[in-house]
Amino acid sequence: MQKKVYIILLNWNNEEDTIECVESLKKINYNDYKIIVVDNGSEEESISKIENKYPDLFIIKNKNNLGFAGGNNVGIKYAINNDADYVLLINNDTTVDENFLAELVKVGEADKGNGLIGSKIYFYSEKNRIWFAGGKVNWLKNKGTHIGLDEIDKKQYDKIKEVDYLTGCCLLVKKEVIEKIGVLEEDYFLYYEDTDFSLRAQNVGYKCVYVPESKIYHKISRSTKPGSASYIYYHVRNGLVMAKRTGSFLNKIILYPYCLILFLKQIIKIIFMPKKRPWAKAVLAGLKDFFVGKMGKA
């Protein structure tokens, strides 16, 4: 008997991608699954298009945009309350290989300790170029990085392996993990919810496992360069919060000297490098909010 999987798909005024993702999911070779679309406060037109296309599709309608973590948590709680064995989080701007879910569940069932299981993720526009082949945390910079990012797939990441974290873009989670550690932390608002979740799971004995035979395709542009002030702010603040909450004793010891060095570097940039002032100010804002405990939306 197959394990029951609830697939959580978050929609926010992006019904075209959601519909393409659902069409892709309907072709998978795994039988015991249910798709739950969680609408995160979209315009009525967006919801109506999905309902008209799929009258039998179960849709949870949030009145407001609860963010990535908040929206997904609504779906996660529904799934756990309705006897899910696994919950799969997947971005609505993805399409999937027909074997992707079967491969994830197979690895989940192979070892009780395999609590979080994730796919190899490619760029949608270049289906042999890697976006994610597992995640690695750089504790010196309190930063999560994608293994294999932007590399052409030459089978260099074709082994099942344990990794530091898995992305919420495609994340299969065992029911007992959620029962033990809870849901995603909503106060991050943007970025690091999935890294935090992965690390919390590992801190209670579960493993995060990357599965290369499970393949999906993500509609993210290679030309999109992370460099906006808000991107920098959230990465600085949330990376520090992640380290404080989930890091080892040593990580927490070096955290504050790191903050001091980071602070001094930004002051130097503001004084002597005027072109970099906007980004330096974003770093300082992230540092400040970390120290005063300000979370949520900036």
Report the pLDDT value the prediction gives residue 225, as an integer from 0 to 100.
Answer: 56
Find out whether 213 and 155 touch, Cβ atoms under 8 Å.
no
Pairing status of strand 170-174 against strand 114-123: antiparallel
**237/239 Cα distance (integer angstroms):** 6
Report the pLDDT value the prediction gives residue 221, as an integer from 0 to 100.
Answer: 66
Pick from 113, 105, 79: nearest CA to 2: 105
Q: Which residue bears the tokens 């030459």?
A: 154
Confidence of residue 11 (pLDDT cuts 50, 70, 90): very high
What mean pLDDT do residues 44-60 have? 95
Find how far residue 28's CA is from the centre of its chain: 22
Could you tell me the pTM of the whole model?
0.94
Find out whether 96 and 185 touch, Cβ atoms under 8 Å.
no
What mean pLDDT do residues 235-257 have? 95
Report the pLDDT value the prediction gives residue 228, as an integer from 0 to 100.
Answer: 87
Find out whether 135 and 115 touch, Cβ atoms under 8 Å.
no
Report the pLDDT value the prediction gives residue 1, as an integer from 0 to 100.
Answer: 87
Reported as a single tens digit per residue, the pLDDT across 130-142 is: 999 999 999 999 9
Report the pLDDT value the prediction gives residue 50, as an integer from 0 to 100.
Answer: 97
Report the pLDDT value the prediction gives residue 222, as an integer from 0 to 100.
Answer: 60
Report the pLDDT value the prediction gives residue 224, as an integer from 0 to 100.
Answer: 53
